[in-house]
Chain A
Amino acid sequence: SLTKIKMARYSFDLSFFLARTHVNYEVKEDVAVIRMNDPNSKVNTLSVRMQNEMIEVFNEVLANDAVHSAVLISSKPGCFIAGADINMIQACNTSEEVTKLSQEGQKMFERIEKSPKPIVAAINGSCLGGGLEFAIACQYRVATKSKKTVLGTPEVMLGLLPGAGGTQRLPKMVGIPGAFDMMLTGRNIKADKAKKMGLVHQLVDPLGPGLKSPEERTIEYLEEVAIQCARGIVHKKILLTKKKGMMQKVQDYVMGIAFVRQQIYKNVNGKVMKMSKGLYPAPLKIIESVKAGLEQGPDSGYLAEAQNFGKLAMTSESNALIGLYHGQVACKKNRFGVPERPVKNLAILGAGLMGAGIAQVTVDKGIHTVLKDTTVEGLSRGQQQVYKGLNDKIKKKAITSFERDSTLSSLTGQLDYSGFEKADMVIEAVFEDINIKHRVIKEVEAVIPPHCIFATNTSALPIKDIAAASMRPEKVIGMHYFSPVDKMQLLEIITTDKTSKDTTASAVAVGLKQGKVIIVVGDGPGFYTTRCLAPMLAEAVRVLQEGVNPKKLDALTTGFGFPVGAATLADEVGIDVAAHVAEDLGKAFGSRFGGGNVDVLKTMVERGFKGRKSGKGCYVYTPGLKSKDVNPDIDDLLEKFKLTPNPSVSSDSDVQYRLVSRFVNEAVMCLQEGILNGPVEGDIGAVFGLGFPPCLGGPFRFVDTFGADKLVEKMRRYEEVYGNHFTPCQLLLDHAKDSNKRFHK
């Protein structure tokens, strides 16, 4: 009993000394200003601590008779609440536990929603996931028009659903179609759009310099306006039920018809199935939860939401997507430290698709960019690409025409090497020919300063072979961008054993500035990404030769979860590039990289079927048309190279696993050989660079989930028919032998 007393005193003392750290409030006359600020993080998340303190504060505010209303605001400049704490969900072992978490959240927000004292959410910065659900439970929302202010429900991208009332409140707030759009795409909504949708009530402009820093004063101003709103609501100067316009009345009437709603569910369901091929359970559960609420009432709706949330949290898809999220965060950090000097002047050689694409993602990041080509025509094309990229952003209202112009003032197009003496980094994106690359490296090294880094953008040539022509191989590095550069998030950086750490740090820093997700891999033919893709493409060619037409091949690969089918991917990459890579890597790795006949690709190139860029490849591309037909000449061509399929390994499923297992095996081999730093980078590279199915989380997570033993079993079966193309690598065999071995903990 003595210990009990001691404990009691101890805990009393604790609560005395451990004041609230995450949530605090200040009463300004009749308004309580509740401020959130997680002291241990750049962003606020709805962690257990945050929630507990919030409930405490909320109770005190409700109990305080002097307070008539409240403002909820974050003290962090760029973040309201970034979402729920993912770790909180991952710590659960059963779906029931997760359902309980969801129900606790629902309960808390229900109290907020039913609060007798109006609560105004004052939003500056990201208001996502659980943060948005919190905000929409409040009576009123004011948001800044800052570029950092985004609202959204990104749960679907983690294989989850908005589990704290989001699926129930959103349809009522923004309408059924709007709510589905938000929850099924997970996209970020800017303040202006949010106001139009009815997601926020009032907007506040960000402020410039005054008597305090713009960030600080903007938050203060937001608070002032929110306090005015809170008082306005109390004094009935602001009405919470807005008079409905004609359009709104019509819309409400239409949505009130059960038949119309059924059509919408059906329609949305159809779209989701078409896009996701049924591989992603979250969108379907979102539709289900919304439907439950609207058709069977709130009790069923909230229950469905909580239960579905619990179920989703236990799916392998959610696990995979959350893994990718963590991986992506990890690959947005520079593990090589801060480079000795920042790159302020970047020169790009070659104004082709890649070169101009690299310029496009660099020029608006405050880096002066030189784009050099050898011909006026080539240079003009590249400059036009950069211009168009920026101009398209104006159309999307992401930037103004003035911002385009001032951004473009950082781009210099030229045909000579003038000014290269100021370059901090040169990225060459010239033709993939070792002799040309050697000539270029010599030319460039004659004009650049000693500290300048020479990066080469190649998809397959080993960096050490290119560096052989360099006088300072420690400054040579590979930067493998993916096309189209402005859309593809991945950058694969390749270091040789001579590349210095500072060179790597600098390349990563530039890539991060360009907004890339970065993997840093070792040197070797095809590095990591190209090396994984090559055997899969070789298998795809074999599949084509065995009589599967390109459309069917695409259907099989997308059916497995690849966003782009194998035949379409080959067209996008370029048949000539694929032929080139297949031949090069074939030489480097020998018969293991065989499969389809390289001559299929070569013949296609000879006949001008180089893929999308030439208008014909596996498909025929008509400018302006989205749909594409199979190239009619391809049948004849494939007929010449026809192979007889072996029925024992040619079912649809077998074809899929033949394609995927070769990819996965090569990825594992890259880890085994030390090309890869770890399975996380392997997964990120495969998903973000090559479109490996995100629902599988990458090749390594796939092995963990699917089972190495089962995969090896399949490969052995294919090996019997096709030989060493399917021989599993040692690391994969190790994992197959010991089921405790996993790539991801």
Chain B
Amino acid sequence: MNAIRGKTSFKTAHLLQACPYLTATRSLSTSVQLHAQVQTKSKKTLAKPGVKNIVLVEGVRTPFLLSGTTYADLMPHDLARAALQGLLHKTSLPKDAVDYIIYGTVIQEVKTSNVAREASLGAGFSDKIPSHTVTMACISSNVAMTTGVGLITAGQCDTIVAGGVEFMSDVPIRHSRKMRKTMLALNRAKTLGQRLSLIGSIRMAHLTPELPAVAEFSTAETMGHSADRLAAAFGVTRLEQDEFALRSHTLAKQAQDAGLLSDVISFKVPGRDTVAKDNGIRPSSMEQLAKLKPAFIKPHGTVTAANSSFLTDGASAVLIMSEEKALAMGYKPKAYLRDFVFVSQDPKDQLLLGPAYGTPKVLARAGLTMDDIDVFEFHEAFAGQIMANLKALDSDWFAQTYMGRKVKVGAPAMEKFNLWGGSLSLGHPFGATGCRLVTTVAHRLLKEGGQYGLVAACAAGGQGHAMVIEAYPQ
């Protein structure tokens, strides 16, 4: 969550130079078949008797922008509104055909604490549609989606709009507790004398502002610091991290150029230009990346500004329906949302290991193995965090010691992994990333002809999420 972008000076490097270097040093292959042939697979469906089939009809997102850029003057609900309008536009959904709207967000704008409601009203949805906001750090929109899945499964709703939004260009900075206390007392003061005495009690210390916590509340450790320790614990080198970061940017650039990021809608920003592309994708070179100093653990750390995700503004939205309803309304669904799990562990030493814990669990629920999965989309908080999770998944010792499993499930094959870039390159608006991951899996399954996809993500608080997605028969 505590992502950073220190330097924005990576030159748009020569991809052709970067790629061979990558493939030579590690198997993080970038020689990707972007236009893979659509294969016909005949794996079993994951439908379960007595359980409603729930489908993803469509998913969209605003371009993800570095915070402080074109979106700088907006408010969070403006972004969410843009995503919702984009979804309406793309699906031609009648504005009263939704049963419920749920949004995920992390850093709350206090004026719009139920941002789901403000955004849906502003997006022109019927004011008869209830909406609520959820939060679970970087997996907030995953919770928004699974809440919707729950409502459909329980028979309460048929049509859900879920989404997420994060706006880091403006965050609530508060007066100090001392100052707030004085101001609240001032409110209650009855006489001029009381007021003057309260005003007189204000000292310099009162004026120190309180920034939103960049650290885990329970441990007071920043996420970047924890990521660096995690990388060290798994013996992930700086080189591996820089390679992975470069891979992410390189693949994102390829996907962007090839027009594969079809979930991105264009957005006319009031008072500014229309934005249609993510602006954080900057493939660089290993040499450039190697020049950066560690950002958190100095001087020997390995996590840098360039191998971490950066502070991002953005919003996403998905339309989820029961299969019957979708078909009845004449939609062609993109994918089934199948089994999912939420996991949590020690917020100090295992803060970012959610994918390592979630993946084996959700595979077991769905009765699948790692090999069955055709498309992996893992949330890239830090390159070091991704590499640590991959190593954890590939370790029998870790599986036995910390997960009570007999054997490891194995690491995902890199040629199936985050092929259209990830949070490191596309950006990571905390509350919005989950929907991007799910939509990307659906789109990749369609494009690559796979049948099963897996989403996994870590979140502050030592939590995590994983979901199995099945391609909708075309």
Contact = CB atoms under 8 A, between A and B. Distances in A.
A212 B400 CA distance: 12
Contacts of B233: 207-211, 214, 217, 221
B349 A208 contact: yes
B300 A208 contact: no
A226 B300 CA distance: 10
B226 to A, nearest CB: 9
B234 A211 contact: yes
Nearest to B346: A208
Given A202-B300, A205-B229, A211 B397 contact: yes
A17 B261 CA distance: 69
Contacts of B346: 208
B398 interface: yes
B300 A228 contact: yes
A512 interface: no
A442 B448 CA distance: 77
Interface stretch (B8-16, B214-222, B276-284, B326-334): B214-222
Interface string B206-249: 00000000000111100001001110111100000000000000
A400 B220 contact: yes
Given A208-B350, A209-B401, A217-B233, A400 B300 contact: no
B391 A211 contact: yes
Interface in A210-245: 210-212, 214, 217, 221, 225, 228
B349 A214 contact: yes
Contact of A402 (B219, B299, B391): B219
Contacts of B348: 208
Contacts of B341: none
Contacts of A209: 233, 349-350, 398, 401-402
B218 A210 contact: no
Interface in A154-206: 202, 204-205
Nearest to B348: A208
B297 interface: yes
Nearest to B297: A205
A205 B299 CA distance: 12
B300 A210 contact: no
Interface string B371-413: 0000000000000000010011001011001100000000000
A274 B384 CA distance: 56
Determine which residue in A202, A208, A214 has the highest number of CB atoms from chain B within 10 A of its CB, and name it: A208
Contacts of A207: 229, 232-233, 349
Contact of B398 (A204, A211, A214, A228): A211
A208 B229 contact: yes
A415 to B, nearest CB: 32
A402 B300 contact: no
Interface residues of B, number: 27
Nearest to B401: A209
Contacts, number: 59
Nearest to B221: A205
Contact of A210 (B219, B297, B388): B388
A471 B369 CA distance: 61
A211 B395 contact: yes
Nearest to A204: B300
A207 B346 CA distance: 13
Determine which residue in A204, A210, A212, A221 has the highest number of CB atoms from chain B within 10 A of its CB, and name it: A210
A212 B234 CA distance: 8
A211 B235 contact: yes
Contacts of A212: 397
A221 B231 CA distance: 11
A204 B301 CA distance: 9
B52 to A, nearest CB: 39
Interface residues of A, number: 16
Interface in A443-461: none
A525 B250 CA distance: 83
A1 to B, nearest CB: 59
Nearest to B231: A210
Nearest to B395: A211
Nearest to A400: B220
B234 A210 contact: yes
Contacts of A221: 232-233
A122 to B, nearest CB: 12
Contacts of B225: 205
Nearest to B397: A211
Nearest to A220: B235
A581 B124 CA distance: 83
Contact of B235 (A210, A225, A402): A210
Contacts of B234: 210-211
Nearest to A237: B299
B217 A402 contact: yes
A214 B232 CA distance: 11
Interface string B317-355: 000000000000000000000000000001011100000
Contacts of A211: 233-235, 391-392, 395, 397-398
B218 to A, nearest CB: 4
Nearest to B300: A225
B217 to A, nearest CB: 7
Interface string A604-627: 000000000000000000000000
Contacts of A402: 217-220
A209 B350 CA distance: 7
Contacts of B397: 211-212
Contacts of A228: 300
A209 B346 CA distance: 10
B80 to A, nearest CB: 32
A207 B234 CA distance: 9
A400 B235 contact: no
Contacts of B235: 210-211, 217
A207 B388 CA distance: 13
B353 to A, nearest CB: 8
A211 B233 CA distance: 7
B468 to A, nearest CB: 26
Nearest to A208: B349
A538 B388 CA distance: 69
Contacts of A217: 232-233, 235
A400 B235 CA distance: 28
A486 B147 CA distance: 48
B151 to A, nearest CB: 33
Nearest to B216: A402
A433 to B, nearest CB: 45
Contact of B219 (A204, A214, A225, A400): A400
A204 B401 CA distance: 25
Determine which residue in B218, B225, B391 has the highest number of CB atoms from chain A within 10 A of its CB, and name it: B218
Interface in A534-569: none
Contacts of B300: 202, 204, 225, 228
A270 to B, nearest CB: 36
B177 to A, nearest CB: 14
Contacts of A204: 300
Nearest to A203: B297
B241 to A, nearest CB: 15
Nearest to A225: B300
A343 to B, nearest CB: 26
A225 B401 CA distance: 26
A375 to B, nearest CB: 33
Given A211-B234, A217-B235, A400-B220, 13 more contacts: A202-B299, A205-B228, A208-B233, A208-B348, A208-B350, A210-B235, A210-B391, A211-B395, A211-B398, A214-B349, A225-B300, A400-B218, A402-B218
7 contacts: A205-B229, A207-B232, A208-B233, A210-B230, A211-B235, A214-B233, A214-B349
Closest 6 CB pairs of A and B: A208-B349, A210-B233, A207-B233, A402-B218, A210-B234, A225-B300
